[in-house]
Every structure is written in structure tokens, then in C-alpha cells.
Chains A and B, each alone.
Chain A
């Protein structure tokens, strides 16, 4: 119900878009889209870009709804962010893993966590700086139910990821199309992004993980690309896989972004090769 309401608000904002103030001065699509953890990025990976379109004298914000339906699970995210002067991004959101297949056996429908993010642009501009744009961020995650994560060996119900991200757009780099390259180094203890808690019987230390994305702007409204996200493996009960996806994002104007992707979340809690479609709707204001 809450998701429906948010979807309605998002759509209402979009359709009345022309009546609102412009959402900021940065060029189209340079805010990325809302990742599944609420930080501006692609679908699975946070980028060095800050959300929305605020430039150095402006504010902006985003609302987003995302859902990935893989074979035996559904991952959803609902969140919001604000961007102050293209310097600081604050994000908040709720992520849910519906246990479509395991639910009955575990007597639990879903795993849920809240994610609070802060990202600070350190230096540079993704379009104009020769060495790109760099940002650091944290994502503080809090499990709302810890019974299942605890039962499978997770140590903590809260955890904080730290990351350093670099993003750079290369103009006319491939077939005269602009190419966006992102690399993110994340320190994390999270199991399945935190949905299965933090730390475990196989490790309770921060692991450094590499995440990256490459996208090509077919024109200024269409971005297509791939993402890869390395993941730790702290729980002995089941192997954890890296994630990847192939995406297409449509950004018709500064108010709307729609992202479709094919995601591969690998093995999750013993269920193999979880793949499926991802769809995300983002409104900016």
C-alpha cells in the first residue's frame, strides 16, 4: 500500500513536471539512477555521481521504486535522496527480499533492512575533469528481522559499508558515442548486501570488494551497459556469489528515469543461479 502511494506520488510529480522548478542544472542522465541500496549509481553499484541534477548552487531530490524478480526471490527497494550543491547526497530507503520459494518452510515471508546513505563528492566533474569525479560514501544498514540471518550464522544485525567511487565520461569514445566508466571499492561485512546480516562464521572482518560499471550513451536519453559487483562470502551454510547485470536506462528528461535490466544474483541461500528482470522508476525534483 505504501509502495502504491509512493508510486502514485512519483508519477504525479512526473506528470506535473513542467509545473515544478527545474530539478537542477547538471546535464541529462549525469545523476545516474537510484541503485538498489539508494545511492546514485546503476542498479547494483553506487557511482561517484550524486543523485538528481543539483549543480553547485542548487538542491535536488529523487524518489525511486525498484524491483528485481529472480527465480526464487523478489528484491524490492523504495527510497528517497537529496543532493545539496552536488557536494553531499543523503539517501534513505527500505530494501526487501521476498522469500517466494523458501517462505513457507521458514515461516517468514520476507527479510527487510533499512539503509541510510551519505555520499560526498571529493573532487572533479564526471564530464569535464580529466581524471573524472571521485566520491566517498557510507551505507548504514539495519536488519528489521534478524531471526533468519542469525540462524544461518550472521554475527550482527547492523552494518556499515564504506566505499570510494570514481566515475568518468569519455566523450565520443566508442563509435563516437559517450562512454561512462565507474569503479567502486567497497569495504563491507554484509551478507547478500546485508539482507542476511553482517559478518559470519567464516569471517567477521571488513572485506574489500571491487564493483564496476561501463555504460554507453546511445544518445543523451539512452544509456546501456553492464555492471559487476564482487561480494564477500562469510557464511558457511551457503556459498555467496558475485552479482552482475546488463541494463538499459531511459532518461527522457530531468524528471524521469526508467531502468530495465537483466540481473544475475547467483546463488542465494542455497538456491542456485538466481536470475531475472529488474525494473526501476525514478523521479527527480
Chain B
């Protein structure tokens, strides 16, 4: 009988521990899966190489300080992916206010980002999780 009680107590404890570990927020693996800050910096660099060759959007980047843009985008993605970075630039609506970004241009940038992630062998899972965090910025970037 006591052994049965012991079993029950053990079961309840295990269940409680199990629940607790389920409730604990997982450490954010997206930042790791993107290759930490260095990996993100490489993705952004490859994306920007794609952008300057892309006639749909290259003109939107004329006169932009590319080094500063690279730093800002890297910090932003690093922060969004749960990494130890702080993006201190302008918010997305403010930064794109006068650019009249069309759906075509927004799609072109997303395409260049995805191709850059593929080039850096980022898993489909990590690509999707990053896109999930970026998609809500659409309305701010396009000033909708």
C-alpha cells in the first residue's frame, strides 16, 4: 500500500515538474539558428548585395550609408531573433515614412532576404520563424 502511495506521490511530482518545465520559456533558439550576430551580419550583407543588383528596389537605397544600414538591420534582426543586441535606430514607420514602398518592392526585399538565408544554409524552420517575426512589420514599413 505504501509503495502504491509512493508511486502516486512520485507520479504527481513528476507531473508537476513536467508541467513546470513546459511552462518555462525556452531559451530563444532562433538567434542561435541564424548563426548568432556574426551569422546575421553575413545574411544581411548577402541580402544587401542582392538588393543593389535588383532593379526593382536598388533606387530606394540610393544615398543611403550602407555600412550604417547594415549595422542597423543586423542589430534589428539580432534583437528580433532574441539575441543580446539593442536596435537603437528609428522605428519602422518613421524610417520608411517618405519612401512609398509598394507591394512589389516589399516582396523584392523579402525575396532577397530569403535568398540570402538560403545562401547561408539557414534551415527552413529558422527562416520561417524569422519571417513570422518580420511579417507584422509589413504595415509599418509600407505605411499602411
Contacts and interface: CB of A to CB of B under 8 A. Distances in A.
Given A27-B114, A176-B125, A178-B128, A55 B103 contact: yes
Contacts, number: 58
A86 B103 CA distance: 10
Given A25-B56, A171-B132, A176 B107 contact: no
Interface in B117-138: 124-126, 128-129, 131-132, 135-136, 138
A129 B111 CA distance: 17
Given A25-B107, A27-B111, A27-B114, A172 B102 contact: no
A161 B124 CA distance: 39
A140 interface: no
Contact of A171 (B103, B106, B107, B135): B135
A109 interface: no
Given A176-B128, A177-B124, A220-B114, A26 B107 contact: yes
A165 B103 CA distance: 21
Interface in A122-144: 125, 127-130
B138 A128 contact: yes
Contacts of B126: 176
A52 to B, nearest CB: 13
Identify whether the interface residues of A are mostly helix, strand, loop, or mixed. loop
A176 B124 contact: yes
Interface centre among A130, A176, A220 (most CB of B within 10 A): A176
Contact of B131 (A86, A130, A171, A175): A171
Contact of B104 (A25, A129, A178, A220): A25
B103 A125 contact: yes
Contacts of B139: 128
Contact of B107 (A27, A175, A177): A27
Nearest to B54: A25
A128 B137 CA distance: 8
A218 B138 CA distance: 24
Interface in A232-263: none
A210 B139 CA distance: 31
- Which 6 residue pairs of A and B lie closest in terms of their CB atoms, listed nearest first? A171-B132, A176-B125, A128-B138, A172-B128, A55-B104, A56-B103
20 contacts: A25-B108, A27-B107, A27-B114, A55-B102, A55-B103, A56-B103, A57-B102, A58-B104, A125-B103, A127-B110, A171-B132, A172-B125, A172-B129, A172-B132, A176-B124, A176-B125, A176-B126, A176-B128, A178-B128, A220-B114
Given A171-B129, A220-B124, 8 more contacts: A25-B56, A25-B107, A25-B108, A55-B107, A56-B102, A56-B103, A127-B135, A172-B129
